[in-house]
Amino acid sequence: MKDMSRRSFLQSSALATACAISSITPAAAEAVPETGKPSPIKLGLASYTFRNFTRDQMIGFMKQLRVTDLNCKDVKDHLPMDPAQEAQAIADYTANGIRLHAAGAIYFPKNDEDDIRSKFEYCKRAGINVIVAGDPTPESLKWIEKFVKEYDIRIAIHNHGPEDKFFPSPFDVLKAIKDLDPRIGCCIDVGHAARANANLVEAIHATGSRLYDMHVKDLTSFKSKESQVPVGEGILPFREIFQALIAIKYKGFVDLEYEIHPDDPMPGVIESFAFMRGVLDGMGYLEGSKASE
């Protein structure tokens, strides 16, 4: 009963914070005095969260969320592979103050030089320097390494849990890349990693300087992919995750990838950002300010 009361309190607090956040106008937000230390944790969004919504709709949602950093994917019209359409998307993001810090997940299912080069070109055109790679085959890694060197674009291999035959957990990624160019690293998906029985804090420390992106979600069971809930309602240790990221001096983004309720994700997305901001606030940090480089 005590745990349930605590969870109900946390959920109510997160939702109340979210409502307050969504009602603040830009002018009012600028007037709020800043307290606490600038947060070394940078929160971003994976555009897959809004896969059923157009780019314009997603931009509107991001303004409500006060999120300006995007891990963009070729889904809907978010960041099309076609160069002309891609250019228009980039122009729209720039006009709305949204920065693209990563692309993906981008898949590398075959050992094909032309296919792999086209994906590096796609990211180069967008000015993106991190590719979140989904399930690259071991055979494709030699071409990926070649293009990492040529384009100076980092690869963050995304672990996909027990169903992933190559990279269930971040530790499997590390084994595969240990002798490759250091610009080939990891994107830790905390939900999938937890389902693969990876200790998340240990995985962050083991990955260290080769952690280039992070996807976050929450679960109520480490055994079920379908148990995803808004961040803060599950059992993942977010304070410990943030502490580990700070300990390794992580410079990348923590991207919310909310995969449930695709037709109405905003309530859960609002709650998730409110919870993460609340955790950082409880740690003495002011989320949203630029950390010292």
- Separation CA 68–CA 75 (nearest Å): 19
Contact in structure between 272 and 21 (CB atoms under 8 Å): no
pLDDT (tens digit per residue) in 206-225: 999 999 999 999 999 999 99
More confident residue, 7 or 244: 244
Which pLDDT score, from 0 to 100, does residue 110 have? 82
Q: Is 123 helix (H, G, I), strand (E, B) or coil?
A: helix
HSE toward the beta carbon, residue 271, CA cutoff 13 A:
20
Count of alpha carbons within 13 Å of 50, Cβ hemisphere only?
25
Which distant-in-sequence residues (6+ apart) come within 8 Å of 211 by Cβ? 156, 185, 186, 187, 188, 204, 248, 250, 252
Structure tokens at 166: 């190559």
pLDDT of res. 288: 55
Once rounded to an integer, what is the mean pLDDT over residues 89-115? 95
Domain ranges of the chain: 40-283
- In the structure encoding, which two tokens stand for residue 12, read together? 């109510």
Q: Which residue has the higher pLDDT, 4 or 143?
A: 143
Segment 50-66 mean pLDDT: 98
Contacts of 189 (CB under 8 A, 6+ apart): 158, 159, 160, 161, 214, 215, 216, 217, 257
**pLDDT tens across 134-173, in order?**
989 888 898 999 999 999 999 999 999 999 989 999 999 9
CA distance 41 to 79: 25
> Per CATH, is 40-283 categorized as 3.20.20.150?
yes
Asked if pLDDT for residue 3 goes beyond 90, the answer is: no
Residue 67: count of CB within 10 angstroms of its CB: 18
**154-158 and 130-134 beta bridge pairing:** parallel
